[in-house]
Structure 1
Amino acid sequence: MLAKRIIPCLDVRDGQVVKGVQFRNHEIVGDIVPLATRYAAEGADELVFYDITASSDQRVVDKSWVSRVAEVIDIPFAVAGGIKTVAQAREILAMGADKISVNSPALSNPELISDLVDAFGQQCVVIGIDSHFNEQTGQYEVFQFTGDETKTAKTTWCTEDWVKEVVARGAGEIVLNCMNQDGVRNGYDIEQLARIRSICNVPLIASGGAGAIEHFAAVFSEANVDGALAASVFHKGIIAIQDLKAELVEQGIVIRPADKDIV
């Protein structure tokens, strides 16, 4: 059995790490490279960087920090933000990123997924999906341009159909961002994640809602996701990665121990 992954998420805007609640009201958390260094040292399995306004601003991710991150960490990291072409992806990978993550650009041009897979291999291509539960319709709906609340828009896709589409096009991994849970720290949307797990045969990463160690244990055991992504609990020091991993191991969850020396 593959080890479950703990993945700190760093939302980047204007060269700094920020964090909002339900994709709104972002506050500055700190500088990119020191945070990346800290999480790698604390035992994170990988990192994800989202340039959150790149797509809504019609630009590609700010690459000035990618090579600096690659120089200081020894764990895999993915980069997302307005990547619309194979050439743009190739440049970011050449700077040291291990994976490319696309969200809004794939919704605008689904063929981008298969183009990236053909160019770099399935294992390199991650699809982020921003899924919002509509209480009036009872449906999970896909949104795009969520990094800028003034430009956020609902698409015509329901979440399950979009998951099936991106898997069919060769996506190597899916990060399901549960918008209703984002930043509120009340737990992952296990019901939605379990539903998506049943139709998704590629690695599935849970995102949105982590607030306590038991939330990680629950999403691994009840939704059988491959990894759990979190931001505010790590940024604010609510949960230490070493403590989290030790407790998960205690509960019998297969995970790589955080055995690095903290620096």
Structure 2
Amino acid sequence: MKRTRVIPVLLLHNNGLVKSENFKNYRYVGDPINAVKIFNEKEVDELAIIDIGATRERRKPNIQWIREIAGEAFMPLAYGGGITQIEEVREILFNGIEKVIINKSAVSTPELITQIADRFGRQSITVSIDVKKNFWGKYRVYTNNGSHSTDLDPVAFAQRCEELGAGEILLNAIEKDGTYKGYDLDILKRVSAALDIPVIACGGAGNIDDFRLAVTEGQASAVAAGSMFVFQRPHNAVLISYPSQTELKEKFYNKLSDNNLRA
């Protein structure tokens, strides 16, 4: 069985590491370079870094800062934030990032997905889709850090992104973000079942069992988390952490294998 990736997601604002709940109430939690060094020691599978203020403030990706982060990382890196042009993608990849993450640009400039895939390969492009239920209880795609509702259905939009060349989807449930209440398995399963490319579950993880449910019930190909890796519960003291490889094997990978044998 192919190993399921477990990916910490670091949110950046003003070059500092922050964490949110429901895409609001941002709390400063430390220096991103220090966090990357700790995750190096923890032997994480992959790391996603998203500058949440870049698009909203219409800033271009900070290439110098990206270069510094990439220079410290021993694991594959994905970067998102402020990406609107193919030349920005070239600079980001040239400076040590394995793949780029686009969110608002996938909605406003969907042809950018194809441009990136054609020039650098599908493996270089992740489309981040932020989802939330609207007033009528329908799942919709949101942009601008969850502040702007589109009329896009996330399943249909994810399918369109795949057609355009996206290599994978990062599906983030806004209403689950930072709650430790588990992933939104409903929309996760709907999107995963509709695609042939990997779907990364994000938003709501509180423990390793949530990872297992995302894969077995939500059909996710990988799992991502933020608060679980930067806070120590129950008091949410700041502590960068990641399960040991032994713990992941015993509580996650082995149980996935058992589920496959019983299926």
**Is the shorter-chain TM-score for this pair beyond 0.5, marking a shared fold?**
yes
Which residue is 2:209 aligned to?
A: 214
Of 247, 252, 260 in structure 2, the residue corresponding to residue 248 of structure 1 is: 252
In the alignment, is residue 59 of structure 1 matched against residue 59 of structure 2?
A: yes
Does the aligned pair in 2 maintain the 1:43–1:241 contact within 8 Å?
no
Tell me the percent identity: 32
Output the TM-score relative to the length of structure 2.
0.90
Q: Which amino acid aligns with 2:145?
A: T
> What is the aligned length?
249
Q: Which amino acid aligns with 2:81?
A: G
- Call closer, same or farther: CA 1:54–1:94 in 2, change over 3 Å: same
Which residue is 2:154 aligned to?
A: 159
2:111 & 2:257 partners in 1: Cα distance?
37
Does the aligned pair in 2 maintain the 1:61–1:83 contact within 8 Å?
yes
2:7 & 2:232 partners in 1: Cα distance?
15
The C-alpha deviation readout for 1:214-254, integer Å capped at 9, x for no partner, is: 11111122122111110111101456321344421342449
Q: Which amino acid aligns with 2:124?
A: C
Q: Which amino acid aligns with 1:93?
A: L
- Call closer, same or farther: CA 1:224–1:40 in 2, change over 3 Å: farther
Which residue is 1:223 aligned to?
A: 218
Question: Aligned-residue CA RMSD in angstroms?
Answer: 1.6
> Helix, strand or coil for the counterpart of 2:194?
coil
Write out aligned runs for 1:1-263 (5 A). 1-134=1-134, 136-146=135-145, 152-238=147-233, 240-242=242-244, 243-253=247-257
> Helix, strand or coil for the counterpart of 1:55?
coil
Output the TM-score relative to the length of structure 1.
0.90
The C-alpha deviation readout for 1:71-97, integer Å capped at 9, x for no partner, is: 222211100001011100111111100
Runs of 4+ more than 4 Å apart: none
1:130 & 1:248 partners in 2: Cα distance?
26
Does the aligned pair in 2 maintain the 1:21–1:184 contact within 8 Å?
yes
2:115 & 2:253 partners in 1: Cα distance?
39
Does the aligned pair in 2 maintain the 1:174–1:203 contact within 8 Å?
yes
Q: Which has the higher contact order (CA 8 A, sep 6+)?
A: 1
Q: Which amino acid aligns with 1:54?
A: A
2:217 & 2:155 partners in 1: Cα distance?
19
1:65 & 1:112 partners in 2: Cα distance?
23
